[in-house]
Homo-oligomer: A and B are copies of this chain.
């Protein structure tokens, strides 16, 4: 069991109740990473489902949970032959912190009938760069869990040269040896720096809603994350992330609606 598997472990209490222990190692300056929270919730949902794969996950981030024990409560909305639907709530101190609607199904090994091209070409990984480790006092413990190799123009903001449009692109893998699976993908879709950094904005950008779809099971190796936004308006922005596996398959699609940071 990897550290990530352990940090997202969901222990069955009864049919519709699971205990999780939220790990302080996934902090983004205090709040825990949204992808990490989704992965923990999905462990419970998948364990309780007749199907193996979370093909659709829509999450509302109501409040910011604390590291430590939490509970996932499930309500089974439909158990069909093709797909099952579950509502899941992450609870701490009798309060709902995250509300999710999840569709599980069993994906086959068949190939694509039609597939689009990546939205942006990525340079080879050896031409991509890392960001320096954050200072310990920034409480960015999340950064130690994953490896990101950025397409240089998409982190121009770091040296004061933002690209001028919302975008974020990187190769991604877990820091520990771990092949990507649907739970790693839940982490991956929310692992990039906010796309608005490239548009000249800074500060914590809280996700309000995130929906992602699992489209295929990823092959081992680096994942490619291609993120962009379409509109920054009225304090809100969208962030679309596509995840491609090392064989060039589109394996996950996500879109989140988030608030602009005040920083």
Chain A residues packing against B (C-beta within 8 Å): 55-56, 58, 60, 62-63, 77-78, 82-83, 85, 87, 96, 99, 101, 103, 105, 107-108, 110-116, 165-166, 199, 208-209, 211, 213, 215-216, 228-236, 238, 242, 250, 253, 255, 257, 259
- Shortest CB-to-CB span from A233 to chain B, Å, is 5
Of A55, A236, A242, chain B has the most CB atoms within 10 Å of the CB of: A236
A211 x B60 contact (CB < 8 A)? no
Stoichiometry, copies per complex = 2
- CA–CA, A122 and B186, complex, Å: 35
B77 x A231 contact (CB < 8 A)? no
Q: Residues of B contacting A85 with CB < 8 Å?
A: 60, 62, 99
- CA–CA, A242 and B230, complex, Å: 10
9 tightest A-B contacts by CB?
A58-B58, A211-B211, A56-B209, A113-B232, A114-B232, A116-B230, A112-B233, A62-B78, A60-B101
Q: Residues of B contacting A101 with CB < 8 Å?
A: 58, 60, 99, 101, 209
10 contacts between A and B (CB under 8 A): A56-B208, A56-B257, A83-B208, A85-B99, A87-B99, A99-B101, A110-B233, A115-B233, A209-B213, A213-B238
